[in-house]
Structure 1
Amino acid sequence: MTPTNVNQDTPPATKPGRATGFRGALLTLSLSMLLPALSTSIVNVALPSMAEGFSASFQQVQWIVLAYLLAISSLIVGVGRLGDIAGRRRLLLVGIATFTAATFLSGVAPTLWLLIAARAAQGIGAASMMALSMAFVAETVPQPRIGRAMGLLGTMSAIGTALGPSLGGLLIAGFGWRAIFLVTAPLGLLTFVLARRYLPADGPTRRAGRLGFDYVGTLLLALTLGSYSLAVTLEHGLFGSLSTALLVAALVGLGLFLLAERRVSSPLIQLNNFRDPALSAGLAMSVLVSTVMMTTLVVGPFHLARVLGIQPALIGLVMSAGPVVAALTGVPGGRLVDRLGAQRVLVIGLIGTVIGTISMSLVPISFGIAGYVLSLVVITAGYALFQTANNTTVMTGILAEQRGVTSGMLNLSRNLGLLTGASVMGAIFAFASGAADITTADPGAVATGTRWAFTMAAALVMVALGLAIGSKRSARMRPRYPIES
């Protein structure tokens, strides 16, 4: 096996005559990251209206969210690999079309279960958009600007997450819950038109499809990830009999998947790739830090309401400080990556996140909203720097045949961290508070739960920091992901 040049398949510096195409491609990829994030966060605020409209229970309408997340988590790696084989532009166009059609169908669905099915289809399209957008960066962005491009994609994802609740609330108040889908569908159509015009055509090697697709491995991985996702969401991290059974199923599925990958000639994931410390550490750090970020979303509303006594109308405003900071930090963070190097910025981001989580666990209640917001700003700014640098580190210099599947794994690691944070860290918060019902717990109990949750969060980020420092030296020597015959 011969080492891969870091600059393989990297586009040359942008020339004046190609500036419009470059900007058009970057706009397309930005929308492809914005819409899936927006579709994740905008629906949560509509669940009460949907439950009322369909005369359904909360447990039933919860599947509107779960179907979307399960589809993304289960298929994002397989979709990325399929893009490497069949052509990323072609598959991204199919994904955008699927997302757009499913979004419109969600807006006109006459029954709850048709809406859930449409949301699952929307998740399939979103998986394609998320997995392939980052994979396209190396083909459309000059090498000196890759950090900035990664920062922009992270910014668009943060904007989508931040915009969802407020935009959804306005649309529901004015036009009803169906408007949240019917307004998003035209944006999907615009993204499709831009993708057809500006994204580079698939090369002849990919069109030939000389690499086989691992159907067995894809199915086993989808079942494994689906089992894990359900295990950590259905019982909200309490791990009763159903969640335990699903976790066992996920472990069995993982074992079968690893066995299958060692036996097929063209596996879904090249297991030897995990010998590269940059890839292994990057994925592990993504899971850990995303778990911590979800802690702020799970614990924050209870702490603000029960400990600081903030009215519900203001909680969303205070919580929006995090996504706003992430949106403002992404592009400047990308410029730092291009100037200082991804590894340095990655370590800086993790150190900032550690400081923020420690501050959140120790800040006195007397500091009030200011103390909470300041800690949240430090955490989120550190996370934005980390995400931009980590995405750049993992995606730079890999073989063209592995960009899609690697991008899929990177997005999957983030999703698994968010799912784990929502369940496990929420359970730690509730357990540490000592209250039977956290929604009615006294302020002291909630404050204790907050301290323990963010102490655990700080420990997780310190583990990530150790991984970053340990992989820093190996990142300078970059023989990346050869395809084994």
Structure 2
Amino acid sequence: MSTPDSAPNAIPAPIHQSPHQCAPQPAHQSAHHLAAAQLALALSTLLASLGISIANVGLPALAQAFAASFQAVQWVVLAYLLAITSLIVGVGRLGDLLGRRKLLLIGLLLFSLASLAGGMASNLALLIAARFVQGLGAAMMMALSMALIGETLGSTKAGRAMGLLGSMSAVGTALGPSLGGVLIDALGWRAIFLLTAPLGMLALLLAWRYLPAAPPSEKLATSRFDYTGTLLLAATLAAYALAMTQGQFGRSNLGWLTLAAAGLALLVWQQKRSAAPLIQLALFRQHALAASLIMNGIVAALVMTLLVVGPFYLAQAFGLNVRQTGLVLAIGPAVAALCGVPAGYVVDHLGAAKITRLALLGLFGGTLALSLMPLHWGLAGYIAPVVLITASYAFFMVGNNTATLANIPATQRGLISGLLNLSRNLGLISGASLMAAVFAWASQQASHTSAQTAASGMHTTFQLATALVAIALVIAFRMRGRD
């Protein structure tokens, strides 16, 4: 708990400065040095995303290997997600206090050792524990890789570096299921965890050698870390995540949601009274930051809709088998990966706020098309809007993240990076739960053939998605005068 004499960090001024006024330029470095630093950050982001998606495909093999139920082995995935979601803000703030490079190195080491431990686990309990520690390392990697971009490359290249990280995140998400399937088929389930250990160590060596070792300021170094606030936030987020991942809504979900609401109220009360709070609540009075976090969550929920509803729609509407469905679903992440780096160059040249608004318009057009798409348009009628949505998503993420972090003082970048990742994760979790429920409900209301039922569910689900994107668009254009 913070002591009364611990001076709170200065609340940053309202966000209106030019990015070039806020982000310091790195010292002169060779092209090789900068490329190696970017590779370290890219690998960190890739591995953290790969850790989420690669384990899903291994659940049947794990259930067989440990003679466990699906409800038990799903904790191999949930433990990782819970660790990231509940701890990412706390580790981001801790990076601001102790040094972001130092904590990134610790995160990479934890991730690598936990990957090794998971691959060698002799029982399911040890594997789940290893996955939680791996998720803690991934939380550090996600939050601090994004926060270190300004220190590494400076503001003039922040957009293209953010685009690289976005591409790596998409590649990790897309590569996980296919790579995991190949590894399990050839070498067994342990290979999906053992593979990431040497890659994590490679990223650790690159980060140790090439990332700038800028120490935290003296004021930050002597600040107290808000352990009470961190624990309250972690418990609140864990309760919410559990409520959203319990399947069909029932008493269990309601109980976890009640605990999450109580935890949030207690957290706000505690943060107002803390001398050195984890999250300065005054930050949320900055309209640009609040808008960025809300839009980030909405867009993440939309993208998760494609991943959750897509497989059911493709199988029921077009009769695709599992392999064909997987190939179609891989189109979206592949498009996002290809668009990430070009999006960064466009953001650097045209401005982050303008690209964010244009990307939201693209998302609106794509979701509207899916909400109206006739079944007789066939597979092409589904793929074309998906390409527009995922390309727009890549541009939105680069523009929104670049604009937000460029206008944040260096003393707050780890925290704000954690909040950006948190809003994205909450959007993914909420979107998976809400949109799956809407699709199931809408499909049950239709008394037609299987294909027509799936189409009805798709239309209703994406009508809701279109409405959510419209809210994000209103927010973005209302912020236009504040850019």
TM-score (norm 1): 0.94
AA at the equivalent of 2:202: L
Q: Map 1:35-434 to 2 at 5 A.
A: 35-203=47-215, 205=217, 209-234=221-246, 236=247, 238-434=248-444
Shift of 1:313: 1.4
Shift of 1:397: 2.6
Q: Structure 1 residue 460 and structure 2 residue 468: aligned? A: yes
AA at the equivalent of 2:479: S
Change in 2 beyond 3 A, CA 1:2/1:50: closer
AA at the equivalent of 1:455: Q
User: Unaligned regions of 5+ residues in structure 2, if any?
Assistant: 1-10
Shift of 1:11: 4.0
Cα distance in 1 for residues equivalent to 2:228 and 2:193 = 34
3-state SS of paired residue (1:434): helix
Cα distance in 1 for residues equivalent to 2:220 and 2:335 = 44
Shift of 1:393: 1.0
Q: Structure 1 residue 10 and structure 2 residue 23: aligned? A: yes
Q: CA RMSD in A?
A: 1.8
Cα distance in 2 for residues equivalent to 1:299 and 1:451 = 11
Change in 2 beyond 3 A, CA 1:441/1:220: farther
AA at the equivalent of 2:452: G
AA at the equivalent of 1:231: A
Shift of 1:8: 5.3
Q: Structure 1 residue 474 and structure 2 residue 482: aligned? A: yes
3-state SS of paired residue (1:473): helix
Cα distance in 2 for residues equivalent to 1:3 and 1:57 = 52
Work out whether residues 96 and 216 of structure 2, in 8 Å CA contact, stay in contact via their aligned partners in 1: no
Which residue pairs with 1:481 in the alignment? none
Shift of 1:260: 0.6
3-state SS of paired residue (2:334): helix
Change in 2 beyond 3 A, CA 1:299/1:20: same
AA at the equivalent of 2:389: I
Shift of 1:14: 7.6
Work out whether residues 13 and 143 of structure 1, in 8 Å CA contact, stay in contact via their aligned partners in 2: no
Cα distance in 2 for residues equivalent to 1:319 and 1:271 = 39
Work out whether residues 166 and 398 of structure 2, in 8 Å CA contact, stay in contact via their aligned partners in 1: yes
Cα distance in 1 for residues equivalent to 2:377 and 2:120 = 48
Change in 2 beyond 3 A, CA 1:207/1:314: farther
Change in 2 beyond 3 A, CA 1:2/1:314: closer
Cα distance in 2 for residues equivalent to 1:19 and 1:269 = 37
Work out whether residues 38 and 161 of structure 2, in 8 Å CA contact, stay in contact via their aligned partners in 1: yes
Cα distance in 1 for residues equivalent to 2:456 and 2:357 = 30
TM-score (norm 2): 0.94
Cα distance in 2 for residues equivalent to 1:187 and 1:291 = 30
1:141-199 CA-partner distances (Å, limit 9, x unpaired): 13221111111100000000011111111111101111111111100010110111011
The sequence identity of aligned pairs, in percent, is 52
Cα distance in 2 for residues equivalent to 1:409 and 1:417 = 12
Q: How many equivalent pairs are there? A: 470
